[in-house]
Structures are given as structure tokens and as C-alpha cells.
Amino acid sequence: MANKGKAKTNESLAKEVVRKFTHSMTWREPFKQKWDRFYKMYRSHMTETAYPWQSKLWVPYSFSTVETLVPRMVSNQPQIDILPREPNDIEYAKIQSQLIDFQWEKMGMNEMMPEVAKGMAMYGTSILKVYWDRQERKTMSKVLVDELNPELGHIEEEVEEVFADNPAVENVDLIDFFWDPRGIDIESCRWVAHRMYRTQKHLEEQQKRGIYKNVKLVKGTGLSYEDDQKSMRRGVLGVAIPDDVTDPGKKEDLIELIEYWEDDRVVTVANRSIIIREEDNPYKHGKKPFVRIVDQAVQHEFLGIGELEPIESLQYELNDRRNQRMDNVTLALNRGWLVEEGSGVDEDELVSEPGFVVHAHDKDKVEQMTTPDVTASSYQEETLIKADIQQATGVSDFTRGVGSDALANDTATGISLIQEAGNARFRLKIKNLEMGIQKIGQMMVSLNEQFINDEQVIRIMGDAGAEWVTVRPDDMRGNLDVKVAAGSTLPSNEAVNRKQTMEAFQIFAGDPEINQTELKRMVLKTILPDGDTDKLLGQQANQGIAPEGIQPTQPGPQAAIPDGQLDQEGILRSTLANAETI
């Protein structure tokens, strides 16, 4: 009786989870249709039925807008700072800050961030899942037959090896994420759900680890679960569902999992019917393990607005103008014909091609139609459309690195003002990204404190090269705050940096109160960031001797320059002068 009662409870819980899941799926359907269109805009996909016989060109302006913003958003690695709240926590904060930097690189976050930024730009929202990843595998290892008699040799023995035991971050496909329709962010949602597709083998492995249960009740459906939008994506690319690599011709039999999260519990439902996981939230921070990052926030709404939504109709208009212009040119070059009845003309001969011949009883009864040339006005309209797109996105042609016909103010001052206005909007996007990174950092600190039980050595890269730091479980404590240094992800303007460095060099060169070796080092690092500055500076850097006799830029009597420094100064000034023109 107890088992029947428990089974009934599991059945009712599964129905509750599936009911919320399907309700959210239905509610967000209009958004999913938008994501479908935005994906096609990014891929510059022209629907065949849109222009049955005319030109079918797609102007890749949407693609250009996204690909202009994304590299700027992720050009620098974010600087995550762990700050102590009390003096006794300073050392703990330093170690954990180094650990976070090491884990960030190990998790491949620098490779993932462009995908995150692209999701923000395309769809307006990116979802990241932060969890602890521990993976074990069986491997063969050589062990001594007898530790007291090593001469007896070794034998191979199967052992369990831990090859992953660290925080992990997954970039969740937005179409596989579902949320409480009443929520405006992850924290305010009463629940969220992550849909996944896994094999039977994966479920069995997770059951051995104690994560899943009832796996034997879950059977493959013989279907490949797939969202309509994923099918659409493959349709755009022109590819089919991949076959099972172990059995070509057979579609991989996947099992749909709905991982349902509340703040205090997690439930996983397989095939929308079987509960395979039900437990309290396994994470000490007591939060749903997801981070939401938006491109442009909308007040009191969960989803943000990306770069493509405001320009969707303008992109279609731009395509129409370009295709209409191409059609106009085609009709002007391949004109139609007015043929009088009874003229004896074979209409199959009325084809524009080199050396074509038309037989007619009376040539006056055959006349070419004239198509007016409207391309001049079309160019003007296209320029206006591009100007509207640039005003909507803040991404001007100058930001793209090309000249512009869409914006009239192309003086140096005008270009600077346009770029600064765009940068103001861009800085807000960077701030949204940094707030998301801060939440990831907070979860990583909590996960490290909860799951690091063994001492480990991490590698830290600094100006002096690699150094190794020992991290102990006792170091994972303290009252700490996580912050992302403001603007640490902003791209640097190399031209401005070089100009400012040159101005500083011209002002302070020869100043006896300024360490000239360090001044040169600053200049060299700016113009040759990957160069070996110590090698270039030679003995001055090694001995810490400031060179004397450097000629200031101001006119007047100049001190003598020791042998060997004249060429160095000349080269340095020449390099800076060239850098200013870049």
C-alpha cells in the first residue's frame, strides 16, 4: 500500500510539473515565433515563396550589426574581484580570487562568452546554468604487486578516476528554457524548467552516481524529441536529423527530460511521465542555478530586447528595395515586347541574347517595351533605411569600420560625436553583461565553499610568468563579496591609447623626476603589447638605471646623448609618430 501511495504521489507530481511546463510553452509561443524570424535574419535566409520569380537577395545588415557588437562586448576577459568584508578575510579573498580566475579559464568561459553575447544580441536574452560538475571514469592503472617488494613489478588494475570536479557553466538554448509567466527575472519566478535530451546510457550512469532513480521504468519512445524551432534551424541550413553513429540509418533514440527547479527543490521528469529525480536543492546558496543576462532590459518583463527586434521591419524593407532595384535593372536590360496579332512572330524567338534573330512579316508590328530606370531614387531610399537602422541600434557605419552615406556629418568631430553616442548605449550593454558575470561569480564562490574537500594546486599567470598557489578547503570561507571591475570588459581604443601614450612621452621625456626606463616601458607595452620589453630595454631594465640625456621635445639647448641611445630615441619617436597615424 505504501508503494502504491508513493507511486500515486510521483504520478501527481509529474502531472503538476508537466502542466506548468506545457502552460509556459503555450504562453511563450509568440516569443518563439519571433526567435524563429530573428534566427533567419541572422542567417540571411530568404524564404523561397517571398519572391516567386524575382530577385531573392538578402542584404546581411542584421548579421553585420550582431557581428559588430559581439567582438566589442567580449574583447577583454572580465576582471572578477573577490572583496573581503573584514580585515581577517583579506587572505581568503586573495586566494579565492585567484581560484576563480583559474576556474574561469579552465571552464572555457572565454570561448563561451561570444556565444552568450551573440544570444543577447540576436534574441535579447541569454540563459546560463551554473552547477558543480563531478565526473568519474574507470581507467587502468599500474600498481605494485607488493609495496614491500617493488622488484616483483606492477600489475594493471581498474580504478575509478575523477577527471572533473569543479564548477561548470552551460549556455542554455533559449528554446529549451521555460519559466513562470508571472516572473520578471530568475529570482522572482516561482519555478523554472530546463528541457534536455539524453540517452538511456546517460540516465543509467547518473543513477549509479545516486542522482537519478526509476531509470528502468524509462524506455525510449522510438522518436527523436525535437522542438519545431530546431527543425527550422536545420531547414535553414539544409541538413537532416543526424543518424545514430553506432547504427547508420537509425535516428538516435533520445529521452526528453524536464528539469524543474524551485528555490528549495529540484524535480526531473522523463518522457513527461516518470519522476527520476526529486530532492531538496542540492546547492548551499539555495537559488535556482540559472543566470539571466539581457541585452536591453524591458521594465517588468523577463525577456530583453536584442538588436534584431527593433530593425526587423527595416531589414525586410531594405531587402525589398534591393530586390526591386535588381528587378528593375533586369527588366530594363531584358525588355518585354508588344506584338500585334497576326504579325507572324514566333514568341520563343523573343529572347535577349547575343546574335538573336526574330522572324516577322512586318517589323512595325513588333515593338520593345520600355522600362523606366528607378534605381536613382532607390539608392536614396536605401540610404534612409540604413540611417534608420543605425539610429535604432546605435551601430553606425563608422563603428563597423567603413565609410557612411547614411549619415551626413562625416567630419572628424561629427564622427567622434556619433561614435560617443553609440558608445554610451554600448556601455549599458556591457554593464548588463557584467552584472550577469557577477552572479556567476557569486555562485562559483558558493559552490567552491560547498564542494572543495581536497587540497589542490592551481596555476596563476602573471607578469613574471607562471606561479603555483595551493588551495585548501579551509581557504573556502570568509565574508566575501563578488564584484566585476567596472568597465573591465570594455574594449580598449588602441588609437586613443597610443595617442595618449605619445603625449605623455613628449611631456615627460628628459624630466629628471620621471623614471625614464619605466616611461619607455610604458610606451613599448602600448605599441608592442606582445613584445619583450626587458629585452628591448637591455641593461637599463636589468640594472634599473634611468637613462640620462633624453632630448625633450621643447626647443632649446639639448643635453648630449650617450652612444647607443640616439638610435633608440629616434626609433621610439618614429614608432610613436607612425602609431598616431594608424
pLDDT in tens, 13-42: 999 999 999 999 999 999 999 999 999 999
Give yes or no: residues 204 and 349 share one domain: no
| φ, ψ at 366 (rounded to 5°) | -125, 125
Quick: pLDDT tens for 251-273. Answer: 567 899 999 999 999 999 999 99
Amino acid at 452: I
In terms of domains, do 353 and 302 share one?
Answer: no
Q: Which residues contact 347 (CB under 8 A, 6 or more apart)?
A: 337, 339
Terminal CA-CA length for the chain: 81
Q: Percentage helix, strand, coil, to 5, in the chain?
A: 45, 20, 35
Answer whether residue 332 is part of any domain: no
Q: How far apart are CA 265 and CA 272, in angstroms?
A: 18
Could you tell me which of 14, 20, 22 has the C-alpha nearest to residue 268? 14
Least confident of 44-53, 241-250, 261-270, 493-502: 241-250
Poorest-pLDDT segment among 156-165, 374-383, 400-409, 550-559: 550-559
> Which of these, 117, 168, 105, 152, lies nearest to 443 by C-alpha position?
168
Which of 320, 351, 369 finishes a domain? 369
395, part of any domain: no
Q: Are 318 and 386 in contact (CB under 8 A)?
A: yes
Rounded to a whole number, what is the largest CA-CA distance in the chain? Answer: 115
Residues 42-48 have a mean pLDDT of 86
For residue 426, give the nearest of 86, 102, 70, 177 by alpha carbon: 70
Q: What are the distances in angstroms from CA 409 to CA 68, 383, 400, 419?
A: 21, 14, 16, 12
Q: Which of 5, 37, 96, 189 minimizes the C-alpha distance to 447?
A: 96
Do 196 and 271 have their domain in common?
A: yes
Mean pLDDT across the chain: 80
Calculate mean pLDDT across residues 52-74: 89
Q: Which of 318, 346, 369 is the last residue of a domain?
A: 369
Residues 196 and 294 in one domain: yes
Q: For residues 334 and 131, which has the higher predicted lDDT (pLDDT)?
A: 131
pLDDT at 251: 53
Segment 176-195 mean pLDDT: 97
At residue 450 the predicted structure's pLDDT band, cuts being 50, 70 and 90, is very high
pLDDT band at 494 (very low <50, low <70, confident <90, very high): low
For residue 18, the model assigns a pLDDT of 97
Does 171 lie in the same domain as 270?
A: yes
Return the pLDDT at 549: 46
Asked which of 34-48, 179-193, 333-347 is least confident by mean pLDDT, the reply is 333-347
Distances in Å between the alpha carbon of 509 and those of 147, 498, 505, 521, 523?
68, 16, 5, 12, 11
> Which is more confident, 287 or 241?
287
Distances, alpha carbon 16 to alpha carbons 22, 23, 191, 273, in Å = 10, 11, 12, 10
Q: CA 160, CA 237: separation in Å to the nearest integer? A: 42
Tell me which of 330 and 574 has the higher pLDDT: 330
Q: Are residues 213 and 300 in the same domain?
A: yes
46 near 58, Cβ under 8 Å?
A: yes
Say how far apart CA 46 and CA 56 lie, in whole Å. Answer: 7
Identify the weakest region by mean pLDDT among 135-149, 170-184, 233-247.
233-247
For residue 185, is it left (φ>0), alpha (ψ between -120 and 50) or beta?
Answer: beta
Residue 63 scores a pLDDT above 90: yes
Q: How confident is the model at residue 581 (pLDDT cuts 50, 70, 90)?
A: very low
Query: What DSSP character marks residue 406?
Result: S
* Whether residue 345 sits in one domain with residue 214: no
pLDDT of residue 239: 66
| Distance (Å) of CA 485 to CA 44, 87, 111, 238, 560 | 37, 21, 20, 44, 45
Of residues 505 and 487, more confidently modeled: 505
- At 565 the pLDDT is 46
Q: Are residues 361 and 241 in the same domain?
A: no
Q: Is the confidence at residue 154, as pLDDT, over 60?
A: yes
- Three-point CA angle 91, 92, 95, nearest 5°: 85
For the chain, percent of residues with pLDDT exceeding 70: 72
Residue 580: is its pLDDT beyond 90? Answer: no
Residue 392 lies in a domain: no
Q: Is residue 39 part of a domain?
A: yes
Q: Rounded mean pLDDT of 185-194?
A: 98
pLDDT digits (tens, 9 = 90+) for 367-394: 777 777 777 888 889 999 999 999 898 8
pLDDT in tens, 455-470: 888 888 766 677 888 8
Q: Provide the residue range defining the domain that includes 517.
A: 494-580
Cα–Cα distance measured from residue 525 to residue 519, given in angstroms and rounded to the nearest whole number = 10
User: Contact 361/343 with Cβ under 8 angstroms?
Assistant: yes
- Together in a domain, 225 and 352: no
Residues 256 and 137 in one domain: yes
| Identity of residue 55 | S
- Does residue 558 form part of some domain? yes
Grid cell digits, residue 494? 588602441
In angstroms, how far is CA 128 from the centroid of its own chain? 11
* Among the ranges given (230-239, 322-331, 552-561), the one the predictor scored with the smallest mean pLDDT: 552-561
Place of cell 574581484: 81
pLDDT for the residue 469: 86
- Identify whether 531 is part of a domain: yes
Provide the domain count of the chain.
Answer: 3
Q: 3-class SS at 4?
A: helix
Residue-level pLDDT at 244: 52
CA-based nearest residue to 545, from 528, 568, 520: 520
Distances from the Cα of 75 to the Cα of 162, 306, 529, angstroms = 34, 19, 15
Interior/surface letters 506-528, b for 16+ CB within 10 angstroms, e for the rest:
eebbbeeeebbbebbbebbebbe
CA-nearest of 113, 229, 127 to 178 is: 127
Say what the pLDDT of residue 564 is.
Answer: 46
Question: Is 358 found in the same domain as 236?
Answer: no
Place of cell 565526473: 135
Strand 290-294 relative to strand 125-144, pairing: antiparallel
Please write down the HEC assignment for all residues of 243-275. Answer: ECCCCCCCECCCEEEEEEECCCEEEEEECCCEE
- Percentage of the chain beyond pLDDT 90 is 41
- Residue pLDDT, tens place only, 406-423: 455 555 555 555 556 557
- Which of 510, 483, 427, 525 is closest to 83 using CA atoms? 483
Over range 540-545, report the average pLDDT.
50
Give yes or no for a contact between 503 and 519, defined as CB atoms under 8 angstroms apart: no
- Asked if residue 58 has pLDDT above 90, the reply is yes
β strands within 312-412, DSSP E: 337-339, 366-368
- Check whether 552 has a pLDDT greater than 50: no
pLDDT at 142 over 70: yes
pLDDT at 268: 97
Residue 359 lies in a domain: yes
pLDDT band at 573 (very low <50, low <70, confident <90, very high): low
This prediction's pTM: 0.76
Q: Which residues contact 100 (CB under 8 A, 6 or more apart)?
A: 80, 82, 441, 444, 445
> Is 264 within the bounds of a domain?
yes
Same domain, 239 and 136: yes
